[in-house]
Amino acid sequence: MRKFSLLLVLLALLVVAVAPVNAQDEPQSIAAIAAGNPDFATLVAAAQAAGLVEALDQTGPYTVFAPTNDAFAAAIAALGTTPEALLGNTDLLTQVLLYHVVPGTFMAEDVAGALAMSAEMEMDGFSIATANGQAATISTDGTNIFIDGATIVSTDIVASNGVIHVIDAVILPELATEEPGAEATEEPTMEEPTGSIPEVAAAAGTFSTLLAAAQAAGLVDALTNGGPYTVFAPSDEAFAATLTELGLTAEAVLADTELLTAILTYHVVPFPFYSEEVVGLNGAYMGTLLPGYAVAITVDESGNVFVNDAQIVAVDIAATNGVIHVIDSVLIPDLSEDM
């Protein structure tokens, strides 16, 4: 564990304050911080070309692994293209940029703690879901920390809607390509959303405990007007079974708003992931609205999909501000220590 203590010290030393603050010392949005730093000029131009500035300004929270201008210049040279050609290919640009965005807030300490846990489990790092639906790999050589081979060179630039970590290279997802002559895959048809996440849940009639919990925790407004989100929603039956297993009553849990808020936000991912994307994230973690906490996605040999130990039993219930997947038990975060 001493090695990872040294990692924490290293990460702390890497923290740089690059963003201006306002008179109240309130953090700016991710988009505003990037726009105020000339080292991110290419990143900002790319986000503008891809139409992602509004998301990075208003939604989230996100963890952004931000390449510098030099990192983009090196990537453009390696790809044998030009800045103009890259900025003109909005489909490619969007895929690449979203791969640098991780839903949820993960500070340097959270990343180092997760690496320590993976080392204890004799794993070489861990994978985490990005906003383009693929997973990036976080690893370490004992001195530096990497995401898909790019070195994290400074950390914890705090924004109002997340955090920025600076990386020294552009990371690339598996890029979608079409075979010559291949027919385009049809998008799955889903019913048109009829309301926000709480409204859709209420109409289903099987999430009364979840809705009561959201009301008690003061989260209904966020789940109505915020997002887009992915909600892993335990049914009333799932809540009842979990409370019985833990020897708790619904009244006791609803009265503890701090615990309730932690549990509920642990069920919400600040980005929409539909079932096809969730299945593709087998073995990866997904960041949640609970800062520093992620849920693990696994798919067994029979094709059953699990979030931690909870099985997904119904999928792709669309809302105007996200999507609901139904799970058969309540997700309980380990609040005794950070992820």
22-54: pLDDT as tens digits: 435 688 999 999 999 999 999 999 999 999 999
Please give the tally of structural domains in the chain: 2
Task: Note whether 203 and 269 are same-domain residues.
Answer: yes
d(CA 167, CA 111): 14
**pLDDT reading at 117 higher than 70:** yes
pTM metric for this prediction = 0.87
Whether residue 186 is contained in a domain is answered as no
> 150 lies in which domain range?
2-167
Going by C-alpha positions, the residue among 277, 274, 282, 318 that lies closest to residue 300 is 282
Whether residue 190 is contained in a domain is answered as no
Whether residue 332 is contained in a domain is answered as no
Whether residue 88 is contained in a domain is answered as yes
Task: Note whether 150 and 216 are same-domain residues.
Answer: no
Question: Considering the chain, what percentage of its residues have pLDDT values greater than 90?
Answer: 73
152-194: pLDDT as tens digits: 999 999 999 999 999 999 999 997 655 444 444 444 556 678 8
| Count of helix runs (H) and strand runs (E) in the chain | 15, 14
d(CA 134, CA 147): 13
- Within the chain, residue ranges assigned H as helices are 2-14, 30-35, 41-50, 53-58, 69-79, 83-88, 90-98, 108-120, 197-204, 208-216, 220-225, 236-246, 250-255, 257-265, 275-280
Q: What is the pLDDT of residue 336?
A: 72
Task: Note whether 10 and 157 are same-domain residues.
Answer: yes
